[in-house]
Amino acid sequence: MQTPAALWIVVAMMASTVHAQSAYAPTHITLDAGSVTAIDNWQMQDSAKAQQGGAEISSARFAATGWYPVSGRATVMAGLLENGTYKNVFYSDNLRAVQVPEASGNLFVTPWWYRAEFTLPKDIKGKHILLRTNGIIASADLWVNGHQVANVAGAYPVHDIDVTSWVHAGSNVLAMQVHPADPRKSLSIGWVDWNPTPPDNNMGPWRGVDIVQTGPVQLSFPHVLSTLPDLSHATLAVKVSAKNLDTVAHDATITGTAAGVSLQQTVHLAAGQTQVVSFSPQTTPGLALDHPKIWWPIGMGEHPLYQLELSAAVDGAVSDRASTTFGIRSVSSNLTKQGYRQFFINGKPLLIRGGGWAPDMFLRDDSTRMEAEFNYVVNLGLNTIRSEGKLENQRFYDLADRNGIMVLAGWECCDKWESAAKTGGSPWTAADLKVAEESMASEARLLRNHPSVIGFLIGSDNAPPPAIAKMYVDTLRAADWSLPIVSAAVDQGTAEAGPSGMKMAGPYDWIPPAYWYADRLGGAFGFDSEVSAGADIPRLEDVQRMLSPQEQEALWKYPDSRQYHASADWSTFAVLTPFDTALAHRYGAPTSLADYVAKAQLDNYDNVRAQFEAFNAHMDAAKPATGVIYWMLNNAWPSLHWHLYDYYMNPAGAYFGAKKANELVHIQYSYDDNGIVLVNHALDDVHGLQATIRVRNLDGSVRYEKHLLGIELAGNHTRTVAKLPAIAGLSPVYFVELDLASSEGKPVSRNVYWLSTQQDTLDWPHSNWYLTPVTQYADFTSLKSLPTAISEAHATTRRQGKDEVTTVTLSVPASSKAVALFQHVSIRHGAHGELVLPIRWTDNDVTLWPGESITLTARYETQGTTLPVLEVSGWNVAAQSITATAAQGTDQ
């Protein structure tokens, strides 16, 4: 049963309410060739309390009295949260108490035991039972029915352990002693300054453990490599690893289908032998496809997937099965004349527009949330996610495949992963090198079938040293890796992978919108692997549920005060001083928390929009912009920094600024040359567009107006259609209003800017790695003088499948005294209900002048029969609530 959305927001996203756990129950295994059954729950205990050895704990007679029942992928901290051991750890600095050893009782410096019972059916004769670990942080000793069967290490290596000789029909026991993690000392997962360090350093079976059943021959690592000489033809190369698990030789017949093409081959396997079984157009002509269905990134086409199904038969009986989905597409990259990386999908260049991914801080596995986050990525108009470490499981890449979202995966910075590059942490040992190699091999096998994956970064803030770089590249190539291998996310190279073609020159803290158009540092040229203007302030309701009253007061009153939810450590980002200083200079000193948050929304919208639009504007430039990764897409916990949507998934100014900039066909203003630019991220040309450009004073009077008709816009290109002239008589704050319509007059893109006659002035010579100082700020303080505007709202709602679709029309009557600036619409489940989250809007945070109207649509999961209540507010618009009416023909 799925958790209702209103509760899910509280349960899955707020640590103040823990995940409910039922009593522990054994995992039941059904015998079937090729079956993979996840251990879906454990009993967990600190070894300081459970001091027995593995032989006793993994015996049937052991009573796990007082142990914690936890879910199958729970880290130690996640398991304790599931059991209510700690409350409200995401509120204020409550987590600090758990992090202090004296307060937590040193819970996380000793190993922890995980114990699970699984039952096997009676007839297991001739079957092989394997234990599959999918990554353990940091390492674990494994015991089955009183026998130690393995020791495994590393967050990413996948290990299959044949435990056939130690299991039997009926009840069996698996016990794991998981050893403490430290990302400075082990190849696990670290967080640097993204959020506080989890008290347990994420130790535990974070990707789960499976029981695998097979016959004498096991099939592993099914793989399809597609070659696309042109869009009308493709060839498929199919491979699978066949391993004889028996002590006698076997003939195995491998049969199956790939994209509907029949496959068959018989191989002879000696005892214990592993052989890669291959199919190609030379052996199977049908694998040369005419008119294949091509996988395209979102906005450029559809994302069709094909299926590979294989089985191995021994002596006429099915021994094992293997399957995977795959897509047909080509990925390549080269370096521009300036040395920056440019990606090509199916031969077409494209601008990478993405964000940096963060899972939950405690690595809790929530399929509902992950799907909702991909819906947000689609809604934002992004085409890429970058994973810097924290690499996800199969579901993540399946969602990326289905949604057409490209993934740039890679290892993380700053901890043991980069200690060999002399960035801190302990030196690598031979054991570390082995774990790294196993990690790379496992990740290559996981990623290589997914058409969404377009490359792997073997380094982040530093390229790996030669020996490690060679190991990574050799391991990838041994896995038939056909995608670009990138040396690092910085401007460094390795002998094997070549120059990275990336830049990481900042900023990470506040700079003005005009910064992004500069031809230096983090400006819009080349490939920016991680970059943003830092602070992203959530909406008021989220600030109030993450910060204590004292922290809320400090947020708007004291710019130099440290905020635990900005950086829990004493890092550069522990204070929001650059952001707060700019906000006070540009919009006026805040007078309350609500005033601070309202001003922050305008700033975040304006700045995030400018970042993406600058890269749009320069995608066809002589010094082209080829990619930008907003740092970050999301947060691992409630944060005041670095996100396009916050931990509560409540879209705010940053979200809607990014969404506006990343429209598929878009009209925008350029801060550097006053140009009006049209952007087309789709492949198809657009004909007969109509553009309207207006420049308005603060009182709404039009100081400049121009209409353009019959505009042709090529696919995957930009076009400058006009430049604003010098305009006399502008008010200190003025507006640029842009409208783009189709040849039939239907709205395509609408964009409104508030600009100052006083420019932001950057002090470039005093730039550092995270910001460029400002010596003069733009002046938007006259926005405070806007009279109260009149805004009218009408809403209807209807059911569409499992979703509710609510449509709201905002209108500003001609009699209104002023522009209705930055109107925001939220929806609640009834008059006093929870906010409707997650929610996908067609647009929001909109600005209208007297006589104008706009229609917005929201889509979200249906809950009950209560009609939604819409809350409308704005910079100079009185807050109002309206109840939507049921659209005719719906079952409200």
Catalytic residues: 461, 530
Helix (H, G, I), strand (E, B) or coil at 233: strand
Contact (Cβ atoms closer than 8 angstroms) between residue 194 and residue 143: no
Q: Which residue's structure tokens are 């403490």?
A: 180
Question: Residue 534's closest CA among 555, 557, 558, 512?
Answer: 512
How far from chain centre, in Å, is Cα 525? 24
Contact (Cβ atoms closer than 8 angstroms) between residue 714 and residue 728: no
> 240 φ, ψ to 5°?
-150, 145
Q: What CA–CA distance (Å, rounded) separates 340 from 189? A: 29
Instruction: Name 205's bridge partners.
Output: none
Q: What CA–CA distance (Å, rounded) separates 882 from 825? A: 11
Residues 6+ apart with CB under 8 A from 865: 892
Q: What CA–CA distance (Å, rounded) separates 807 from 805? A: 7
Residues 6+ apart with CB under 8 A from 857: 805, 806, 807, 808, 841, 842
Helix (H, G, I), strand (E, B) or coil at 446: helix
Q: What CA–CA distance (Å, rounded) separates 588 from 796? A: 38
Instruction: Name 144's bridge partners.
Output: 147, 174
CA distance readout (Å), 264 to 258, 277, 845: 11, 10, 58
Instruction: Name 551's bridge partners.
Output: none
Q: What CA–CA distance (Å, rounded) separates 639 from 539? A: 12
Q: What CA–CA distance (Å, rounded) separates 608 from 412? A: 25
Write out the two tokens for 1: 């049963």
Question: Residue 756's closest CA among 786, 727, 781, 775?
Answer: 781
Write out the two tokens for 252: 């195995």
Helix (H, G, I), strand (E, B) or coil at 680: strand
DSSP character at residue 504 = -
Residues 6+ apart with CB under 8 A from 72: 38, 39, 40, 41, 42, 205, 208, 209
Whether a cis peptide bond, with omega within 30° of 0, leads into 138 is yes
Q: What CA–CA distance (Å, rounded) separates 461 from 324? A: 33
Helix (H, G, I), strand (E, B) or coil at 779: coil
Q: What CA–CA distance (Å, rounded) separates 501 from 490? A: 8
Q: What is the DSSP string of 736-751?
A: EEEEEE-TTS-EEEEE
Instruction: Name 410's bridge partners.
Output: 388, 457
Write out the two tokens for 682: 């789709």
Q: Which residue's structure tokens are 């307060």?
A: 103
Residues 6+ apart with CB under 8 A from 883: 795, 831, 867, 868, 869, 870
Q: What CA–CA distance (Å, rounded) separates 301 from 647? A: 31
Helices of type H across 495-573: 540-546, 549-557
Write out the two tokens for 141: 């000793």
CA distance readout (Å), 564 to 15, 545, 726: 16, 14, 46
Contact (Cβ atoms closer than 8 angstroms) between residue 859 and residue 832: no
How far from chain centre, in Å, is Cα 850? 39
Question: Residue 95's closest CA among 170, 200, 7?
Answer: 200
